[in-house]
Amino acid sequence: MSTITNITSVTFRPANLSDIALLQYWDQQPHVIAAHPNDQWNWRVELKQSPAWRKMLIAEDGGRPIGFVQIIDPAKEESRYWGDITGGFRALDIWIGEESDLGQGYGTVMMEQILALCFEDTSVIGVLVDPLADNTRSHRFYERFGFQFAERRQFGRDDCFVYLLSRDDWMKRTVIPDSGK
């Protein structure tokens, strides 16, 4: 059942070196480990770099950090994580830091804003996510935004479901009905 919430907006700022301790603490939370059991983010290295193909953002509620989002251009990402992929896509990673903040509506508000940011770039035709195959709650979360299952794919040791939100499906959700005036 979805949570009824009063949360209407969160703000985003670039993650920076002063966030290392916070991000490392979030990395140790069981729900974050469960979603990314084989990922080891080297924040000290990553946060020193700001390549044009990546945004690392901290979401805040009234100045309190509540979550993290990474947006990449998978065609330009240097490790070629997404393999051979054409331009025009964005790929996301998202998590809420504190377990007590899960299921309060933060993720929904964050995703709405992040998807709007991605599609603001008119060259973007689709947004990708790759949750673990067994992370069924996150599948439901993404499906609510119109993401469609694309394929089951192995990324390193991770058995993942790839989901795609096309610009068309995003537009269908965000279209404002004509008031008739």
Ligand X SMILES: CC(C)(COP(=O)(O)OP(=O)(O)OC[C@H]1O[C@@H](n2cnc3c(N)ncnc32)[C@H](O)[C@@H]1OP(=O)(O)O)[C@@H](O)C(=O)NCCC(=O)NCCS
Q: Which residues bind ligand X (CB under 6 A)?
A: 1-3, 31-32, 35, 93-96, 102-108, 131, 135, 137-138, 140-141
Q: Find out whether 115 and 121 touch, Cβ atoms under 8 Å.
A: no
Q: Find out whether 40 and 141 touch, Cβ atoms under 8 Å.
A: no
Continuous H helices in 126-166: 136-143
Q: How far apart are CA 41 and CA 79, in angstroms?
A: 14
Unique residue bearing structure tokens 């933060």 = 106
Q: Of all residues in this chain, which one has the CB nearest to ligand X in the complex?
A: 107
Q: How far is the CB of 26 from ligand X (least distance, A)?
A: 9
Q: How far apart are CA 146 and CA 22, in angstroms?
A: 31
Q: How far is the CB of 117 from ligand X (least distance, A)?
A: 16
N- to C-terminal Cα distance for the chain? Answer: 36
Q: How far is the CB of 90 from ligand X (least distance, A)?
A: 14
Tokens linked to 167: 């610009």
Q: How far is the CB of 101 from ligand X (least distance, A)?
A: 7
Which residues, other chains included, contact 87 with Cβ-Cβ below 8 Å and sequence gap of 6+?
Answer: 73, 75, 76, 123
Nearer to ligand X by C-beta: 88 or 103? 103
Nearer to ligand X by C-beta: 108 or 166? 108
Q: How far is the CB of 9 from ligand X (least distance, A)?
A: 13
Nearer to ligand X by C-beta: 82 or 95? 95
Nearer to ligand X by C-beta: 145 or 170? 145
